[in-house]
Homo-oligomer: A and B are copies of this chain.
Amino acid sequence: MKIPDKVINRLTLYHYILDDYENEFISSTKIAELLDIDNSQVRKDIKYLNNSGKCRVGYDVKTLKQAIESELGFKNHRSAFIIGAGNLGSALAKYDNFKDYGLDIKAMFDNDTLRVGNTVNGKEVYHVSELPKLVKKMNVDIAILTVPKVCASETAKYLVNSGIKYIWNFTTCILDVSGDVKVWNENLIGNFIQFTHENDV
């Protein structure tokens, strides 16, 4: 069954809660309260899972957690490169949680020779010219794009020519790549506007 994007997003948040939860059972009311959403919404979302561990006293924390992991594929191993070893790239490289959710950052790339050769959280920074070779060698097809906006378009073309198939784009440049490469725009500004729009900040 195809799970709607919003449900995937919320299930991930439920997982964050379960990850820190110290009791054996948790109620949908507790989850709803922590996220400031409707109890009925939580119960509806959890119905997408095969075995939610629901019982008289609530959901079994361990079972529910495993059900989310299994449904959303947290144990699937996906390797990625970070392109751009500036602040944002380094922050994402240090985001240890990624690995728990199936995303394994294998290396970073930059064109700044001062950054090349450094390691960030155990990930080596290579010169971008090494990308085509390492895409093949390390069998990586996901790139996380964190270069400055002015270089984004050119870098994306280079990624595609190097064999990258999926680009998680953190820049505000809309990338014009061919159809067989998938781009996911991480739209921070759009998210902020949603937030302020709904709350009339």
Contacts and interface: CB of A to CB of B under 8 A. Distances in A.
Given A73-B197, A182-B199, A201-B142, A86 B97 contact: no
Interface in A154-201: 166, 168, 172-174, 176, 179, 182-199, 201
Given A103-B192, A189-B97, A197 B166 contact: no
Interface residues of A, number: 61
B13 A174 contact: yes
Contact of A34 (B97, B174, B192): B174
Contact of A192 (B101, B173, B193): B101
* Copies of the polypeptide in the assembly: 2
A151 interface: no
A101 B174 contact: no
B12 A173 contact: no
Interface stretch (A39-47, A52-60, A87-95, A110-118): A87-95
Given A183-B36, A193-B72, A196-B73, A20 B98 contact: no
A141 B195 CA distance: 14
Interface in A116-157: 141-142, 146, 149
A101 to B, nearest CB: 5
B197 A78 contact: no
Contacts of A76: 196
A188 B95 contact: yes
Contact of A168 (B11, B94, B195): B195
Contacts of A87: 87-88, 90-91, 94
A23 interface: no
B98 A189 contact: yes
Interface of A: 3, 5, 8-13, 16-17, 20, 34-36, 72-74, 76, 78, 86-88, 90-91, 94-95, 97-98, 101-103, 141-142, 146, 149, 166, 168, 172-174, 176, 179, 182-199, 201
The 3 closest A-B CB pairs, nearest first, are A87-B91, A12-B190, A88-B91
